[in-house]
Amino acid sequence: MDYDLVVIGGGPAGILGAATAARKGLKVVLLEKNDKLGKKLAITGGGRCNFTNKSDGETFGRNIITNGKFLYSALNAFTSRHIIELLNTLGVKARLESGGRVFPASGQSADVLKALQKHLKDSGVEVRYNSGVRQLLSSDGQVTGALLSDNTRVKSLSILVATGGASYKQTGSSGDGYQFARQLGHAIIGPRPALVPLVVREGWVLELQGLALDNVMLRVAKGGRVKAEQSGELLFTHFGLSGPAVLNLSSFLTRNFSFPLDLSIDLKPGWSGQQLNKFLQEHLLQNPARSLKNTLSDMLPQRLATAILALAGIDGSRQGAQVTRGEREGLVSALKNLAVTVSGTRSLNEAIVTGGGVSTKEINPSTLESKIIRGLYFAGEVIDVDALTGGYNLQIAFSTGYLSGTSAGNIQ
C-alpha cells in the first residue's frame, strides 16, 4: 500500500482528518482537486469566517437541522473549545460576537486557512494539489485505493471522503463524494439546497431590493398553525428575500414543505398588535398635521413605509388626524402580518450548505466508518447533516474531520 490513509478533499473536514491521522503516526496523503486548499473556507462569513459557535450543548443541538444525534460523538470528541485552542496555538486569536458566534480577531478567513495549512504541514501530511479523484477502488467489501482524473492510482486500505456538498461548485465542492459513495452501495439523501435565499412572487418585494431590516419574525403556517418561524435580519433582493433569518428558515422549508407557500413577515415582533395600534394612535394624535407617510417613516425605512401604505390601500399624503380607526387597524395588520408568496428557492449552487448527502444510517457515528465498506470514512458536508447559520456548519466539518482522523487508518 502507498499510504495508511488517503484523504479526498482539502476543506476544513479533510484538513482536520488528515492532520489528526498523521499525528497518530500514519502516512497520510491529502488529495485536493484545486490548486489550493479551502476555497470555500476562504469565502465563509463574508470573508470573516464564523468558524464555530460557543453556545452550550443544548443550543448547539437546536441549531442542527438534520441528524444532530448522529453528530453527538463527533461534536463531543472535538468541541468549539478545541478548535478555538488549536487555532490559538497556531497564532489565530478568536473574537466572540453576538449569538455565540466566533470569528478570527483579525476578521480574515485567510488567517484561519493559513493556520490550518500550517497544522497540516506540522503534522507531516503530504498534500497533492490538482489531484481530483474520479473513482474509489474496492475489493471484497474493502476499499483499496483511489483512481485520479489523470488515471494514476493511489493505494490504501483507508480512505476518508471529505469532498463537501454540492453548492458553490466553483469552490470545488461539486458533489463528487455522493458519486463515490453511491458506487460503493451507499444511499444518498437529496441533495437539496439549505440556507438558501427565497424567491418571491410579489413585485413590490423586488422593488425594495437592497433594503435590510434588523429584526423581523418570519412565520409559515399550515391549517392556521405556525409550522416554522425564524427571527433576525432580512434582506430584500432582486428575486425575493435573503439575510440570516430567511436562510435559516429556508433549511426547514426545503426539508418539510413544498412550494409555493405563504410566508408572513412580522415587521414589529417586539410589539403585540394591540400595543402597536395604541402607539400608532398616540403618534398620529401628537402629529395631526403631519402626513401619514412621514409619521410611518419614524417606524420604518421610507421605501418600506411607502410600500406598506400602498398594500394597505391608504393614501400616504393624508394627515394623521384624518386616519380612521379601520385604516389604522389595516396598517397594524400589514405591519404584523405582511404576506408574501414564496414560489421556491434559489438553486442548489447558491445554497450556503447542501442538505442531504450520504445517509447517516450507513455510517458508524462513533468512528464515521462506512457500515457497508471496510476502510471507507466520511467527514463534513458530504454526510447528510446540516445546521443553521452561526458557525455550526464549520464546527461540524472540524469535529467530523477530527473524529474520522482518530479512527481511520491502520499502520501497514
Binding footprint of ligand FAD on the chain (CB under 6 A): 8-14, 31-34, 39-41, 43-45, 49-50, 132-133, 162-164, 168, 172-173, 176, 352-353, 380-381, 391-394, 397
Q: How far is the CB of 39 from ligand FAD (least distance, A)?
A: 6
**Would you say 40 or 268 has its CB closer to ligand FAD?**
40
Q: How far is the CB of 402 from ligand FAD (least distance, A)?
A: 12
**Would you say 179 or 264 has its CB closer to ligand FAD?**
179
**Would you say 73 or 163 has its CB closer to ligand FAD?**
163
Residues 88/81, Cβ–Cβ less than 8 Å: no
Phi, psi of 29 (to 5 degrees): -120, 140
**Would you say 31 or 64 has its CB closer to ligand FAD?**
31
- Cis-peptide, bond into residue 12, ω within 30° of zero: no
Q: How far is the CB of 287 from ligand FAD (least distance, A)?
A: 43
**Would you say 104 or 330 has its CB closer to ligand FAD?**
104
- Distance of alpha carbon 12 from alpha carbon 30, whole angstroms: 12
Q: How far is the CB of 150 from ligand FAD (least distance, A)?
A: 12
Taking the CA of residue 326 as centre, how many other CA atoms within 13 Å lie in the half-sphere pointing to its CB?
A: 2
**Residue 106 one-letter amino acid:** S
**Would you say 97 or 327 has its CB closer to ligand FAD?**
97
DSSP 3: B
DSSP 168: S
- Cis-peptide, bond into residue 365, ω within 30° of zero: no
Q: How far is the CB of 206 from ligand FAD (least distance, A)?
A: 22
**Would you say 127 or 292 has its CB closer to ligand FAD?**
127
**Would you say 331 or 394 has its CB closer to ligand FAD?**
394
Q: How far is the CB of 46 from ligand FAD (least distance, A)?
A: 7
Taking the CA of residue 380 as centre, how many other CA atoms within 13 Å lie in the half-sphere pointing to its CB?
A: 33
- Judged by DSSP in three states, 225 sits in strand
Q: How far is the CB of 131 from ligand FAD (least distance, A)?
A: 6
Residues 260/344, Cβ–Cβ less than 8 Å: yes
**Would you say 40 or 192 has its CB closer to ligand FAD?**
40
- Distance of alpha carbon 258 from alpha carbon 178, whole angstroms: 24
Q: How far is the CB of 163 from ligand FAD (least distance, A)?
A: 4
Q: How far is the CB of 345 from ligand FAD (least distance, A)?
A: 15
Handedness of CA 215, 261, 62, 190 (dihedral sign): negative
Cβ atoms within 10 Å, residue 315: 13
**Would you say 63 or 277 has its CB closer to ligand FAD?**
63
- Distance of alpha carbon 363 from alpha carbon 384, whole angstroms: 10
Residue with cell 436562510: 247
Cβ atoms within 10 Å, residue 362: 16
Residues 6+ apart with CB under 8 A from 373: 138, 141, 142, 143, 184, 185
**127 DSSP β-pair partners:** 30
**Would you say 245 or 280 has its CB closer to ligand FAD?**
245
Q: How far is the CB of 194 from ligand FAD (least distance, A)?
A: 10
Instruction: From 291, 373, 297, 292, select the one nearest 328 (Cα to Cα).
Output: 292
159-161 sheet: strands from edge to edge: 126-128, 28-31, 5-8, 159-161, 376-378
Output the nine-digit C-alpha cell for 14: 479533510
Q: How far is the CB of 298 from ligand FAD (least distance, A)?
A: 35
